[in-house]
Amino acid sequence: MSVAVEVAVDVRCRVGESPLWDVRDACLHWVDISGQAVWRHDPSAGRTTRWSTPEPVGCIAPRASGGFIAAMQTGVYAFELGETLAPRLLAAAQHPAPQRFNDGRCDRQGRFWVGSMFPDPAQARRNGRLARLDAGTWAPPLLEDMIVPNGLAFSPDGRTLYASDSHATVATVWAFDYDPDTGRASRQRAFIDKLPAGRPDGAAVDADGCYWICANDGAAVLRYTPGGRLDRRIDLPVAKPSMCAFGGAQLDTLYVTSIRPDGDGALAQPLAGAVFACRPGVRGLVEPAYAG
């Protein structure tokens, strides 16, 4: 089944990531990690706004008490989108400089899961980890010795946690049994050994429980059934899609952020760094908010 893909927001982010549809304002939000920015796009008004951040920002999530949280380099911060962005520290990072946070999202109970990594993945340093922040307190990490933690998502019933290491030397997505009452994950197993093209990046889960994963360097978004079978592919006009999220009034639009490569790579991909959208014929889920 062919799906038409269009440019939803005509920007050129260096490392576009963490798309988030916020049902509170019916707007799409995302970040530019290297560009140190948070973006918002209001599709009803056709208006796009950018806020600068004081540090690289890996991901954002809504906050139940209002506003958002952002995993930056030195910690997890709370912020509101006003005239300026004035982040307030909620929890200091446990990783040493120059590491930074990368992919993250909340479980259905409002615990924030986030991975950390060395800023230059080409060095393949195995000092990243995946941990959860619960009401301002860090739990012991679930995974350590990671290079690029990524692909976080939860099944609709909240009982399966998905996570990956997207570095080319690993490129594996795992599934875990997840206890919603305690926030503990167990029984790690391979969910996707290798993608048919590229490597796994950011992900989303639809209302049917299928796992949508961006194939970075594979120019596509792929959907896997809960049993781990590839059943859909949506091709994109850029090599490096980075993360996807469902949005729109019916949560039936799939938004995809992307990365703009340096040098000649950018010249060959004039749309790289934009946000794309398509209607894949399924709906997503409301993104949970951080409870702390």
CATH number, position 117 = 2.120.10.30
Q: What's residue 226's pLDDT?
A: 98
Mean pLDDT within 61-70? 98
Q: Is residue 205 part of a domain?
A: yes
User: In degrees rounded to 5, what are phi and psi of residue 267?
Assistant: -65, -35
Q: What is the number of domains present in the chain? A: 1
The first and second tokens of residue 97, run together, are 């400089």
Length of the chain in residues, anyone? 292
Whether 201 is catalytic: yes
Q: How does residue 264 score in pLDDT terms, banded at 50, 70 and 90?
A: low
Q: 290 in a domain, yes or no?
A: no
pLDDT at 252: 98
Residue given tokens 């991901």 in the structure block? 59
The parent domain of residue 166 ranges over 5-278
Q: Which stretch of DSSP H or E encloses residue 165? A: strand 160-165
Question: Could you tell me if residue 283 is inside a domain?
Answer: no
Whether the per-residue pLDDT at 265 is higher than 90: the answer is no
Structural domain contains residue 285: no
Residue 292 lies in a domain: no
Q: What percent of the chain has pLDDT over 90?
A: 96
As a whole number of angstroms, the distance between CA 104 and CA 84 comes to 23
pLDDT digits (tens, 9 = 90+) for 233-255: 999 999 999 999 999 999 999 99
Decide: 49 and 11 in contact? Cβ < 8 Å.
Answer: no
Judged against a pLDDT cut of 70, whether residue 1 lies above it is answered with no
What secondary structure letter does DSSP report for 268?
H
What is the predicted pLDDT for the residue at 2?
82
**More reliable by pLDDT, 66 or 268:** 66
Determine which one of 145, 201, 206, 262 is catalytic: 201
User: Which pLDDT band, with edges at 50, 70 and 90, does 267 fall under?
Assistant: confident
Of 177, 159, 176, 170, the closest CA to residue 199 belongs to 170
pLDDT band at 66 (very low <50, low <70, confident <90, very high): very high
The verdict on residue 81 lying in a domain is yes
Q: Do the domain assignments include residue 291?
A: no
Report if residue 146 sits inside a domain: yes
Residue 140 binned pLDDT confidence (cut-offs 50, 70, 90): very high
